[in-house]
Amino acid sequence: MPFNSYYFIFIFLPITLCGYYVLNYKNRVVLAKTWMVGASLYFYSFYNINNLPLLLFSILFNFGLTSHFHSPKKIISKSLLLKIGLVFNLGLLGFFKYGDFAIWNFNWLFHQKVEPLAMVLPLGISFFTLQQIAFLIDSYEGLNERKSFLDYSFFVTFFPQLISGPIVQYSYLMPQLENLENKKVNLDNITLGIFLFCIGLIKKVLLSDTFGVWAKPGFDELVSLDLLAAWKTSLSYTFQLYFDFSGYSDMAIGAAYLFNLKLPQNFNSPLRSKSLIEFWSRWHITLSQFITTYVFTPIVRSMPKINFQTTMVATVLAMFISGIWHGAGWTFIVYGVLHGLGLVVNHVWKKRRKKLPGILAWFITFNFINVTMVFFRAKDLEHALKVLKGMLGFDGVVIPKMGIKSVGFLKDYGVKIGTYLYPSDYFMILFLILSFYLIHQGKNSMLLEKEIKLNEKIGIFCGIAFVFCIFGMNKITEFIYFNF
Amino acid sequence: MTNKEILESVSNIIREVLELPNLTVTDQTSAKDVDEWDSMTHIQLISAIEGKYKVRFALGELQALKNVGDMVLLIQKKITK
Amino acid sequence: MRFIYSFTTTTIIFFGLTYGLIMTVDPYNKLGNNPFGFETKAVDFARVNKFNQVEHSKKNYTAFIMGSSSAHRYLTRELNRLTGLTSYNYSTQSATPEDFLAMTRHILKKYRPKLFILSFDFEGLNKNVKTDDMFYASPLKNYLKEIPNDDIKTDLFNNSYLTLEALGDSLKVIWVNLLGKANHAYLDDGDHKIEALSKTIKIDQFSGGPYEIDQTRISYLKELKSICNKHDIKVIALTSPLSIEHLRRLESDPGLKKNLQDFKNSLLDIFGEIWDFENETIGPYNDVKFFRNSNHATHDFSTLILERIFGKAEGPGILLKK
């Protein structure tokens, strides 16, 4: 069920909230948790009921396995349990997500014609797999005590974060549930929840979807792009992705607040970053933390020596894995490796302790991000290179007719004069400027969560924006991260 | 060891790994405040601390170690076990 | 609490105002609302405009042209010249036999016509092409008592009005009408104003879905013919011209080719003879002088068609007889 839908906002959410608080009020704690798990499973199956068995199977298997860490009779050794758990989770993920990619590559490499399995990727599998792997490893390392099945299910299925994160650790979320204060309706949290949800909705419906319309033709439909069209395409996508995913995270966090539960922040104005290292501490923060903790660190520790060189190798490997986690395709591999190498360059430069002027640092970082996002979005390498080619001007430059009569000698370099700018072009330029301003100067939702005083004025602003979103939601689009 | 002693030696390790001989380190210092303290230097820090105190941090504990105060408490907990 | 209160109140009030505005302005004329008396809306207003013209005109019209927008450009002065009658062009967007029957009854309330020219689109007899919503939103619907009342949907939460586009278009409608820049495409006598030629003949969407002859519409046409017989009105039926490229694409699909034949035969069955312009005789007329796009003729071409029908020119088209 998408967050930006009438059904979710006006039916699912109110009913789930009422049930939860009524049951808690009547001290039926177990029932309240069960209600939430049930609601979350309903939320999950709404898209396609066929997804449900896999999720249930994954929860049951992982719960059974991790419980065994605490059982008095140690039939299976802890390290074997860990290995089985990892193979199971990664195997499940690998099969559904990368099965066809593997087959395709096998066919290409060995000139075979194996039939692809053409399976539909189960919703959110990348996220609930990671979340449970973290739990598995924490349990193996003795950081968790035995949990009840209900609590474990709640942790995995909690609907605000089930489909696309923020990825949360058990110890972060569940203790909040035990706090008696959190079982009562808290108007401050409800207020903050509504506010953050609205912010997310605005980002998604009014900003991201608009940029999405501008990004699509260049990536999917046109055969070649002139300079301006290519930049319009890539910038639109970068903004689309940012507003989409940070908006989604805002909605997730906002929805969780309605239940008096705090989820970790996922974005901290990443497009302001002055270095790639900084970027990864601000973009999809919970994923970065997961990769650093459970992928990067083990790789480093497995190296013969821990020094600069080995950490750099580990960085590239970790980013490669991060890239391919996002999707089964060569574009994602290129994306990951580019970021890995970029980080290495960044670290090498950082050692010199010479700082670049702020604007230059931002410029380089932003453009690197913008360029790598082309790989993230493009259907395949061919389309990615098409956009990049255009961005460098290799497929021509078309200048809008703005009082210039001729381009003179530049004609030989593929420069042409095109048509006048349409009103929609002016609108897009304005929109881009507004977005640059917002990402640079605006108070991001992390800051707003801490500082904002929610009074009538904000209430009115949110009300008006919410109505615009209600109108805008009518074309329901998919969240980009849904394919994960 | 007392917490104060731990803080003292951890601070030295931090200064050494981050190559910042003049850095003031207190209980409140965290990775956010120090530009040179990123994921890469963090793992080197952890490794050095593990070597010095003969302890082992679980993966799941690493995020908490981005704050010096929490780090000291965790080290204390581990060496008294 | 103050936030929640002001948020909720603002949402309800602002939503009510915005949605109410859209419903009142009715930019796509789906509801038949026009309390501000706007001259134009976001969509062409033809049905209501022309209905009013026919209703209130002081002229004694004795000939009527009916059809969809493909018949917009038959000039009444040319038809008058060829027939000596006083004609009115009652063509409207996306018209189907529902319109024709309703219009016939409407016309007979006040006039004593001698001639009807009916232009039929291939898609007009397709069951899977819905009758235009605007028919139901216009006064014409009162002249089609055959429709059961629950067929007419006046959905209060009309989905296409709950969009940002509808809001934008409503504001545009208000703006355009306030500035007096209302753009009338239709002149007196239902003529369409003359405009510059297109640059190319763009192929317009040529299939509205699987083709199935709509028997209800056939029955409406039979009723129309019988009314005309009763009132001594000569009916000239024609198939609306398609550019040769459009025609060839249609006929390259054996299923559609057969459907086209069925379409012509159905009309022949009802009217006895039809002027068919959907055949190879249209070949030489593959120029922007003749077509605005692949299924809309220009003014000049429409005039040539009339001259052909009335024997004053050699041109495209074949007179098919039963």
List, for residues C250-289, the tens digit of each pLDDT value. 888 888 889 999 999 999 999 999 999 999 999 999 988 9
Number of domains in chain A: 2
d(CA A136, CA C179): 68
What torsion do the CA atoms of A128, A131, A136, A140 make, to the nearest 10 degrees? Answer: 180
Mutate to test the interface with A, among C2, C4, C7 (most CBs of A within 10 A): C7
In angstroms, the Cα distances linking A190 to A187, C299, C313 are: 5, 64, 78
Does the residue C278 lie in any domain? yes
Q: Is the pLDDT of residue A53 over 70?
A: yes
Same domain as A137, residue A39 = yes
Structural domain boundaries, residue C196: 45-158+185-321
Structural domain boundaries, residue A360: 189-274+356-483
Between chain A and chain C, the number of residue pairs with CB atoms below 8 A apart is 64
Report the 10 Å Cβ neighbour count for A229. 21
Smallest Cβ–Cβ distance between A459 and the set C6, C18, C164 belongs to C6
Does the residue A348 lie in any domain? no
Q: Is the pLDDT of residue C158 over 80?
A: no
Same domain as A129, residue A194 = no
Same domain as A84, residue A28 = yes
Does the residue C108 lie in any domain? yes
Q: Which residue of A has its CA nearest to B45?
A: A306
Domain layout of chain B by residue ranges:
3-80
Chains in contact with A, counting 3 or more C-beta pairs less than 8 Å apart as contact: B, C
> Catalytic: which of A68, A70, A284, A326?
A326
Provide the 8-state DSSP code for A272: G
Q: What is the pLDDT of residue A315?
A: 93
Residue A158 confidence class, pLDDT cut points 50, 70, 90: very high
Same domain as A266, residue A166 = no
pTM, to two decimals: 0.77
pLDDT average, residue stretch C4-32: 87
Record: contact A142-B58, CB cut-off 8 A: yes
Annotation says A111 is catalytic:
no
Q: B62 to chain A, minimum CA–CA distance in Å?
A: 7
CATH for C120: 3.40.50.1110
Q: What is the pLDDT of residue C148?
A: 59
Higher pLDDT, A179 or C88: C88
Q: What is the pLDDT of residue C205?
A: 60
Number of domains in chain C: 1
Does the residue C231 lie in any domain? yes
Smallest Cβ–Cβ distance between A143 and the set B43, B44, B58 belongs to B58
Question: What percent of chain B shows pLDDT beyond 90?
Answer: 0
Mutate to test the interface with C, among A205, A467, A469 (most CBs of C within 10 A): A467
Q: What is the pLDDT of residue A69?
A: 83
Same domain as A384, residue A250 = yes
Record: contact C2-A475, CB cut-off 8 A: no
Q: Is the pLDDT of residue A453 over 90?
A: no
d(CA A195, CA A254): 7
Same domain as A195, residue A108 = no
- In Å, how far from its chain's centre is CA C77? 20
Does the residue C6 lie in any domain? no
Record: contact C3-A466, CB cut-off 8 A: no
Same domain as A174, residue A193 = no
Least confident stretch, A177-186, A241-250, C21-30: C21-30
Q: Is the pLDDT of residue C3 over 70?
A: yes
Same domain as A59, residue A144 = yes
Helix A456-472 vs helix C164-178: crossing angle, to nearest 10: 100
Q: B77 to chain A, minimum CA–CA distance in Å?
A: 13
Helices (H), A111-226: 125-140, 149-157, 159-162, 170-178, 187-201, 209-216
Does the residue A279 lie in any domain? no
pLDDT average, residue stretch B8-18: 87
Residue C9 confidence class, pLDDT cut points 50, 70, 90: very high
List the one residue out of A422, A332, A441, A328 whose CA is nearest residue A377.
A332
Q: What is the pLDDT of residue A483?
A: 44
Mutate to test the interface with B, among A135, A296, A351 (most CBs of B within 10 A): A296
Does the residue C236 lie in any domain? yes
Does the residue C12 lie in any domain? no
Record: contact C14-A463, CB cut-off 8 A: yes
Does the residue C251 lie in any domain? yes
List the one residue out of C111, C113, C109 whose CA is nearest residue C62.
C113
Smallest Cβ–Cβ distance between B44 and the set A169, A298, A311 belongs to A311
Q: Which residue of A has its CA nearest to B58?
A: A141
d(CA B49, CA B32): 19
Question: What percent of chain A shows pLDDT beyond 90?
Answer: 47
**Are the beta carbons of C298 and C234 closer than 8 angstroms?**
no
Half-sphere exposure of residue C48: CA atoms within 13 angstroms, side-chain side: 20
A22 by DSSP, 3-state: which? Answer: helix
**Are the beta carbons of A197 and A473 closer than 8 angstroms?**
no
Domain boundary among A151, A185, A219: A185
* A77-81, A321-325, C152-156, C189-193: range with highest mean pLDDT: A321-325
Share the mean pLDDT of chain A.
Answer: 87
Same domain as A174, residue A103 = yes
Does the residue C130 lie in any domain? yes
Q: Does A141 touch chain B (CB under 8 A)?
A: yes
The CATH number of domain B3-80, selected from 1.10.3720.10, 3.40.50.300, 1.10.1200.10, 3.90.700.10: 1.10.1200.10
C–B touching, 3+ CB–CB pairs within 8 Å: no
Domain boundary among A185, A219, A242: A185
Domain boundary among A118, A153, A185: A185
